[in-house]
């Protein structure tokens, strides 16, 4: 039998965000033209909105759950990772810009591992306001890059703007990742 919390609206929104990942990939892979870009962007923006909405509703309706706390960051990492992969695949992100994508992906994997390690030590590292800004900037950068060449046809420079935002997000990613690393080292040294 399914727990009522598993079927709560905040968790359903998180499930929808996870399901949006293959939809974004399919739009970019099967329809790399202008229409595929716009569809991918629309689905991606919907997924980003659910990231905010599920957390807001969970807090407002007192429906926070262990399942939601586990799945929310997984959904975020799947969306970011798959989008970065597809944007690299279609060369929206290429050359030296790939390093920004690598930094973001490595930090996400590092932080996931550190969270798991710290949980075993019963140490909680709360999400900082800077980490929230990092996530927001990352999502905006990827949204702009999803519009990419299709957006450039309407407003020249969309892709370039997205790449600059991606680098800023990558730098914030390094900074916030270092905060997690410091907390993990500090916790390990005191055990």
Question: Residue ranges per domain, the chain?
Answer: 4-189
Q: What angle do CA 77, 78, 80 make, to 5 degrees?
A: 65
Query: What confidence score (pLDDT) does residue 124 get?
Result: 77
Regions of the chain short of the pLDDT cut 70 = 1-4
Query: What confidence score (pLDDT) does residue 100 get?
Result: 97
Predicted TM-score (pTM) of the model is 0.90
The CA radius of gyration of the chain, in Å to the nearest whole number, is: 17
CA-closest candidate to residue 63, choices 18, 2, 17, 6? 6
- Written as six digits, the tokens of 1 are 């039998």
Query: What confidence score (pLDDT) does residue 137 get?
Result: 95
Report how far residue 154's alpha carbon sits from residue 163's, in angstroms, rounded to the nearest whole number: 17
Query: What confidence score (pLDDT) does residue 2 get?
Result: 52
Query: What confidence score (pLDDT) does residue 95 get?
Result: 96
Query: What confidence score (pLDDT) does residue 1 get?
Result: 42
From the options 3.20.20.220, 1.20.120.1760, 3.40.390.10, 2.170.120.20, give the CATH code of 4-189: 1.20.120.1760
Tens of pLDDT along 88-137? Answer: 999 999 999 999 999 999 998 988 888 888 778 887 777 788 888 998 99
Query: What confidence score (pLDDT) does residue 3 get?
Result: 63
């Amino acid at each position: 039998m399914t727990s009522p919390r598993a079927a709560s609206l905040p968790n359903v929104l998180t499930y929808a965000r996870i399901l949006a990942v293959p939809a974004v990939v399919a739009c970019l892979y099967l329809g790399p033209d202008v229409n595929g870009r716009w569809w991918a962007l629309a689905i991606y923006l919907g997924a980003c909105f659910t990231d905010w909405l599920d957390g807001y509703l969970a807090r407002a309706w007192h429906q926070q759950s262990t399942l939601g706390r586990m799945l929310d960051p997984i959904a975020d990492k799947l969306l970011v990772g798959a989008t970065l992969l597809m944007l690299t695949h279609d060369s929206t992100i290429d050359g030296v810009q790939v390093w920004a994508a690598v930094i973001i992906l490595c930090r996400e994997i590092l932080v996931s591992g550190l969270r798991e390690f710290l949980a075993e030590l019963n140490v909680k590292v709360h999400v900082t306001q800077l980490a929230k800004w990092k996530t927001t900037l990352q999502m905006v950068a990827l949204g702009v890059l999803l519009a990419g060449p299709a957006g450039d046809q309407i407003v020249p420079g969309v892709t370039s703007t997205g790449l600059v935002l991606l680098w800023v997000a990558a730098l914030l990613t390094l900074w916030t990742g270092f905060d997690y690393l410091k907390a993990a080292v500090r916790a390990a040294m005191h055990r």
